[in-house]
């Protein structure tokens, strides 16, 4: 159960209304039952329900366990903003596959341009997708999520490790990648990366990575690359 607050052993934590409803109405838990809490800090907290009501629940934290299921390869996925359900899929499955950070980027061919208000709403929705995927996959560290920014602006920033952009005509293959502890991977949106996007990224030091002889949909390409990168260089 995710709690958006610091947790410490011996203290009592208020559980959010939706999570409490799930524990009580769906799982039929009551006072005295054990629950596991996490707040994204890399630990699981064993706790016991001490109060259950219509509007929420409270749990006493009994102990903390550091989890060791983060990949030794820190992958940042810079996903060209795609349509709603595709972005949700990439965030959900990318979290399961161990992505450390997501950076949604607006590329030349991004179809969904978000104004500030819609971007805020999307971000809140995306954070919810990441938290749910962590709960489901047993991760206690919620991947970092940046606000959507333009590709040129993003490319000009600092990037960790090997800088790769997925490009069906890229010069690199997975087999040729050197050992590394971090990868920043750019994936084009539905319409792909334009020549201008590719040139901007190339000027910022990104190298093209090709996955194979077939063109993959944007959500397939990123997820397939992440699975392959974890298998070759991570965990
Ligand atoms: N017609 C588009 C093009 O020419 O780029 C296809 C775009 S594809 C649907 C979306 C993104 O997935 C691409 O921008 C690229 O980042 C990635 N991608 C798809 N297939 C790939 C492959 N075989 N190798 C590397 N990247 C691929």
For 137, the token pair is 């996959």
Residue 114 confidence (pLDDT): 76
Residue 53 confidence (pLDDT): 84
Residue 56 confidence (pLDDT): 85
**Separation of 167 CA from ligand 1 center, angstroms?**
6
Residue 20 confidence (pLDDT): 83
Residue 217 confidence (pLDDT): 98
Residue of 158, 162, 168 lying closest to 188 (CA atoms): 168
Q: What is the CATH number of domain 74-233?
A: 3.40.1280.10
Residue 22 confidence (pLDDT): 84
Instruction: Identify which of 106, 170, 188, 189 to mutate to test ligand 1's pocket (most ligand atoms within 8 A of the CB).
Output: 188
Whether 12-66 shares its CATH topology with 74-233 is answered no
Which residue owns the Cα nearest ligand 1 atom 5?
192
Q: Which residues line ligand 1 (CB under 6 A)?
A: 166-168, 187-188, 190, 192-193, 210-212, 214-218, 221
Burial class for 188, CB neighbours closer than 10 Å (0-12, 13-18, 19+): buried
pTM for the full predicted model: 0.91
For 99, the token pair is 């992505």
**Separation of 203 CA from ligand 1 center, angstroms?**
20
In the predicted model, residues of the chain with pLDDT beneath 50 are none
CA angle 138, 228, 131 (to 5 degrees): 25
Residue 25 confidence (pLDDT): 84
Which residue owns the Cα nearest ligand 1 atom 9?
217
Using only the alpha carbons of the chain, give its radius of gyration.
20
Residue 117 confidence (pLDDT): 86
- pLDDT, tens digit (0-9, with 9 covering 90-100), for 163-177: 999 999 999 999 999
Residue of 51, 137, 148 lying closest to 98 (CA atoms): 137
Please, are residues 106 and 149 in contact by the beta-carbon 8 Å criterion?
yes
For 4, the token pair is 């958006």
Please, are residues 65 and 44 in contact by the beta-carbon 8 Å criterion?
yes
56's torsion region: left (phi>0), alpha (psi -120 to 50) or beta?
A: left
**Separation of 169 CA from ligand 1 center, angstroms?**
9
What residues form DSSP beta bridges with 40? none
DSSP β-ladder status, 74-80 and 101-106:
parallel
**Separation of 43 CA from ligand 1 center, angstroms?**
37
Residue 34 confidence (pLDDT): 96
Q: What is the CATH number of domain 12-66?
A: 2.40.240.20
**Separation of 32 CA from ligand 1 center, angstroms?**
52
Half-sphere exposure of 96 (CA within 13 A, CB side): 13
Domain ranges across the chain: 12-66, 74-233
């Amino acid at each position: 159960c995710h709690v958006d607050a610091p947790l410490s052993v011996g203290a009592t934590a208020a559980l959010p209304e939706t999570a409490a409803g799930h524990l009580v109405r769906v799982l039929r838990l009551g006072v005295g039952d054990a629950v596991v809490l996490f707040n994204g800090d890399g630990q699981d907290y064993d706790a016991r329900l001490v109060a259950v009501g219509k509007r929420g629940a409270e749990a006493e934290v009994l102990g903390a366990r550091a989890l060791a299921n983060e990949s030794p390869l820190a992958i940042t996925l810079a996903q060209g903003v795609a349509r709603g359900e595709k972005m949700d899929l990439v965030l959900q499955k990318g979290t399961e596959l161990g992505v450390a950070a997501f950076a949604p980027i607006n590329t030349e061919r991004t179809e969904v341009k978000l104004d500030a208000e819609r971007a805020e709403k999307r971000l809140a929705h995306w954070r919810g997708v990441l938290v749910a995927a962590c709960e489901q996959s047993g991760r206690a560290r919620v991947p970092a999520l940046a606000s959507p920014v333009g590709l040129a602006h993003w490319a000009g920033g600092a990037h960790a490790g090997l800088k790769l952009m997925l490009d069906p005509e890229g010069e690199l293959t997975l087999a040729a990648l050197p050992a590394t502890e971090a990868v920043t991977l750019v994936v084009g949106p539905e319409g792909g990366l334009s020549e201008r996007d590719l040139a901007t990224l190339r000027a910022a030091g990104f190298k093209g990575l090709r996955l194979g002889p077939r063109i993959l949909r944007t959500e397939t390409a990123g997820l397939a690359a992440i699975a392959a990168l974890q298998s070759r260089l991570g965990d």
